[in-house]
Amino acid sequence: MIELFSADTPNGKKISIMLEEIAFKYKLTKIDISNGEQFNPEFVKISPFSKIPVIIDHKNNETVFESGAILMYLGEKSGKFYNKEDRLKINQWLMAQMGYIGPMLGQHHQFHHYNPGKSKFGEERYFKITKKIYQDLDNRLKNSKYLAGEKYSIADIATWPWMARHEWHDIGLKNYKNLSRWYLNIANREAVIKGFDHYNNGLSIPKI
């Protein structure tokens, strides 16, 4: 049994989607980050930076933090979406999400969605970066069905939940043909639909 400590965020949804995709039984333990539950001493024991998500694999008593590391762990454990022959490309696109796409879109959320009007510099900077990320992804997907090649992988699972907040970005996902095709292709997967609503609150995937 996998226990997933998570919140209703893109990083949290990565793992619930992956668990649904590989059909592993899991228990969801909700962490209320709006009320600071991530700073509770018991949680810090398994997440040294007080971040979600975290999993505990109770079968072998392994604890894994950081969403990218969790995806790699689950990919290796299940033998799915982390093919050895494609691993170099998968790792590159996974690291691009972890180190660039996620953090930059996260900053765009902070300035543009949560705190508009507080920093013109921040709003303009991260809007510009987000628009470039859309174009870079669209360029990649012009010649590739998925981010790491022709097979769906943990790189897509890591990136897609961040693009699912495209309504917050005000970039216009529909204007990016290849990125839109990739987004909708993944959005229609049964496991993605289930994992996206891992809080069971009736949340629907945003349309284009």
Please report the pLDDT score of residue 201 as a whole number: 78
5 and 31 Cβ atoms separated by less than 8 Å: yes
Alpha-carbon distance of 49 to 11, in angstroms, equals 14
Q: Are 109 and 116 in contact (CB under 8 A)?
A: no
> Which pLDDT belongs to residue 198?
83
CA distance 43 to 137: 35
- State the pTM of this model: 0.95
Mean pLDDT of the chain: 96
Q: Which residues pair with 64 in a beta bridge?
A: 55
Q: Is the pLDDT of residue 202 over 90?
A: no
Torsion of CA 105, 108, 110, 114, to 10 degrees: -110
Per-residue model confidence (pLDDT) at position 179: 98
pLDDT at residue 49 in the model: 97
Q: Which two tokens stand for residue 86?
A: 């494609």
Give bridge partners of residue 4 from the DSSP assignment: 28, 55
Pairwise CA distance, residues 104 & 59, whole Å: 36
- Domains, the chain, with CATH or none: 2-80 (3.40.30.10), 84-193 (1.20.1050.10)
Report the distance separating Cα 155 and Cα 14, nearest Å.
Answer: 10
Closest listed residue to residue 101, CA positions, set 137, 76, 77, 67: 137
Q: Specify the DSSP class assigned to residue 168.
A: H
pLDDT tens-place string over residues 48-82? 999 999 999 999 999 999 999 999 999 999 999 99
